[in-house]
Structure 1
Amino acid sequence: MYSSRKGRRRRREWVLWGVPLAMVAVAGLLIASTQRQANYADWYHHWITAGAGVLIALVLERLPLNRLKPLLIPIYGLTLISLVAVKVIGTTALGAQRWISIGGVNVQPSEFAKIAAILLVAAVLSRHPVERPVDLMRPLGVISIPWLLVFIQPDLGTSLVFGALMLTMLYWSGMPIEWVVLLLSPLLTALFAGLLPWGMAIWIPLMALLAYRSLPWKRLAATVTVLVHGSMAFVTPWLWMHGLKDYQRDRLVLFLDPSKDPLGGGYHLLQSTVGIGSGGLFGTGLMQGQLTKLRFIPEQHTDFIFSALGEETGFIGCILVVVGFTLLMARLLQVARHARSDFEALVVIGIGTMIMFQVVVNIFMTIGLGPVTGIPLPFLSYGRSAMVVNFIALGLCLSVVRQSRGLSPGRR
């Protein structure tokens, strides 16, 4: 009985390995297609980087995560130093300073910062679960520093990833869902302040009532909630004008109607949706997409790789990719539920959130349902740092699987 169950678990690892590798294989061909008219052809670097990532994942699979705990603070510290170094000696491209050139290779520290933050937040929450509002100070303190350093690069997309994984990890650690809503609510207040000012007359009292009912020191909690939301509504116009770059404001607005600036900020979205739509049900075939061949879509090998997928593999190819990511997330949830410790479960949940948040935001962006944020599509978008980080994340999850197999059925 136990041996057959163990055999089934072994077969399931085809999901953790098979989905990423299949996507890497297809992505290499899509990237080659986007560069048919380019003066260089480095599409094969995507596969080379993935090969290096596989080796890293195989090493991490055999390393129990508990052995990493003494290294978490040094890893986190080195990550912060690298993020600061980006502002001092970083390489600028596309209006942002996000890379450090090492031996002629551009490394993006913000990608590695996501893994470092997940590991340290998981360690903090496993040791100090959030049982009182004051307990939030530790995990929020850990996440806020890399978030701020990434935001000022500026990299709005990656900074959103930090927020998403923080909220999910807090909820998985046992924090009440009402507290999660209260943490997320200032962002919605900012949206109301910019889009529907009258909505704040309902939204802010509703959040105050939620704080009164779910937090200790009820009157004080409700009062502080009203003050926080009122302050957010007051400073939102200033943050909109001075906290964001011009192109970031365009990206956040033009997705609602990209035709307002078809040759400027809305160009990416318009061309991306045209490319996906032109693929029809079965697509034009790999290496046969005309919009991809003629490079109508900027940055198609990175942020907009899904548009190449839609044009050349059609609706069927897009659905297969979505199903693949769904299977991957479902398996990660299984791994988290069967992890032998809270620390390992939180690491897996943080990684799953990191991957799926990027998947949802990137796909929504390319089909015109969300703003252009510069978030890559995991395993498909070209990018050395992102690819290595994705396989590091995979290796950590595989380590949790390997360690959970060592538990007897009774201890499960």
Structure 2
Amino acid sequence: MIESTAQGFSSRAIHAGYEPDSHMGSINVPIYASTTFAQDGLAQLRGGYEYGRVANPTVRALEQTLAALEEASFARAFSSGMAAVDALIRILVRPGDHVILGNDAYGGIYRLLQHDYGEWGIELSIVDTTDVAAVRDAVRENTRIIWLETPTNPALNITDIAAISAVKGSAAVVVDNTFATPYLQKPLELGADHVLHSTTKYLGGHSDVLGGAVVTNCADMDERLLYFQGNVGAVSSPFDAYLTTRGIKTLSVRMDRHCSNAQAVAEFLESRPEVSQVLYPGLSSHPGHELAARQMRGFGGMLSVRFHSEEQARGVCLNTRLVCLAESLGGVESLIEHPQSMTHASAAGSVLVPPADLVRISVGIEDIEDLLADFAQALDALH
């Protein structure tokens, strides 16, 4: 990691990972759009770079920034969040091994573990990870991963990372920190072994770049991740790394606005008779509210809403005007979607399928008055 005098999170987000270069003094990390690098002699690498699939200076700067934000020793960037997920699974699990996954998780991870790795003999248990005793009882001698989302996607459940880490046995605790970001939550400090990010979401922050990352304090894991980057090749492109680095510079100010807007939207929706339940850890009515207040710096920009019927849920998704009907999350714009038929369709027929009356909202950084007015008219249109 490049040493920096920056101590605060926002300062590290701007300065960690890169210093103005000695050649031109560029304030921003340059986009090194080169597939190969000149060598000073036979196998004498200049700066450690030889081929773009193995390492790239722009990508390395992003990795150093991510490690600094999680206050970790190592980070490796991948071409997408799912590429990072796949690398972690392939490193940690072998045929005959066992994985524990939460009962509210992103459908793509369930699909990968159940359908793809299941064909190779990987055993999967679906457990309510908010129940520490249930996780402890599910751990076996061959359990290699306890995969946590907290907050979960899409029910926004909160899992006690420290408590799960205390009952993990020989398994590795992996925390998907995409919803919270390192600004709101530090899983490694709470006992997790490895942290996963879909940098596509809040870290990039502008819905214009795909990426993923694994962050860890384990030198052996970092070496194995580096091996996968070079030998499998699911690496970030220099341009994508540049865009993600640029997005990270404003992460703290964006997350503050995401949190305040989400709190206001959650409180407004909770007051409406059309709504059956609002799932947002910032509400005192949320069962994980107190844990989230201890474990997180803020409650995030994601919330889900349950209506009285599937028809109402679908209707609200189709009635918003400012809030866009689209998958993904974490951008500056507000998005709404119906998980059962969209992001979590791959969980159909499993215990992970979201309720048909549930809508997920990624609250953006627009003026809160405009957001509340849009939700009000969308709800009024149901009558």
With structure 2 as the length reference, what TM-score do the two structures score?
Answer: 0.26
With structure 1 as the length reference, what TM-score do the two structures score?
Answer: 0.25
Q: Report the structure, 1 or 2, having the larger helix content.
A: 1
Q: Compare relative contact order (CA 8 Å, sep 6+) and give the higher one, 1 or 2.
A: 1
Q: Report the structure, 1 or 2, having the larger strand content.
A: 2
